[in-house]
Amino acid sequence: MPLRSDWSARPCAIARSLDVVGDPWVLLVLRDALLGARRFEQFRERLEIADNVLSRRLQAMVAAGLLRKATYRGEQRTHQEYLLTEAGADLLPVLNALALWGEKHTTPPRPDAHIAIVHTACGETSSSADACDNCGTPMTAGDTAWRRSWHTPELTELRPADNN
């Protein structure tokens, strides 16, 4: 008797997706990963998540194929890092759809706190989750960015996103 139901073998693709990403922390980790976070400490600081919860989530996300764990040599020491897989990066439209809905239907703490989806390939903001409504092409994690009007803890030690 688990605490949560198992939807991994449902015929409905929505249910199967929710079996993987139907957890707010998973989506928030993906959000920060798409913003450039890679290390345990970066996720922990930016998400204000308890250590054990983050640890479990990262492990589960690696097991689910959303992230890939790697060791790399930084300037001072070696680090563990969690890199987006293709499956993880492909969740961008879900996060975009959530961002658009939140902008429309929830109230920000300050009236000037807003997020916009920018298709960097053409430079325009988009009001669609997965297709640039300026140039019409599909948006992927590689050519899309979020422009946020508030400041966030800086992401230090960002290496080029080689993803390999």
Residues in contact with its own copies by the rule CB under 8 A: 4-5, 7-24, 27-28, 31, 48-49, 65, 87, 90-91, 93-110, 113-115, 128-131, 133, 136, 138, 148, 150
Q: Which of 128, 100, 132, 129 is nearest to 115 (CA)?
A: 100
Residue 145 interacting entry, from DNA, its own copies, none, C-beta within 5 to 8 Å by type: none
Nearer to its own copies, 72 or 150 (CB): 150
- Give whole-number Cα distances, 54 to 4, 38, 59, in Å: 18, 13, 9
In the list DNA, its own copies, none, the entry touching 158 (Cβ below 5 to 8 angstroms by class) is none
Q: In whole angstroms, what is the distance from residue 27 CA to residue 100 CA? A: 15
User: Which residues lie closer than 8 Å to 116 by C-beta, 6 or more apart?
Assistant: 125, 146, 147, 148
Partner whose footprint covers residue 133, from its own copies, DNA, none (CB < 5 to 8 Å by kind): its own copies
**Min separation Cβ 149 and DNA, Å:** 26
Judged by beta carbon distances under 5 to 8 A according to partner kind, the member of DNA, its own copies, none in contact with residue 94 is its own copies
Instruction: Choose from DNA, its own copies, none: what does 58 bind? Cβ within 5-8 Å by kind.
Output: DNA
Give min distance, CB of 69 to DNA, in A. 7
Q: How many CB atoms lie within 10 A of CB 29?
A: 25
Largest CA distance in the chain: 50
- The alpha carbon of 13 is separated from its chain's Cα centroid by a whole number of angstroms, namely 20
CB 32, min distance to its own copies, A? 10
Residues that bind DNA (CB under 7 A): 1-5, 23, 25, 39-42, 49-53, 55-56, 58-59, 73, 76-81
Cβ contacts of 69 within 8 Å, gap of 6 or more: 58, 62, 80, 81, 82, 83
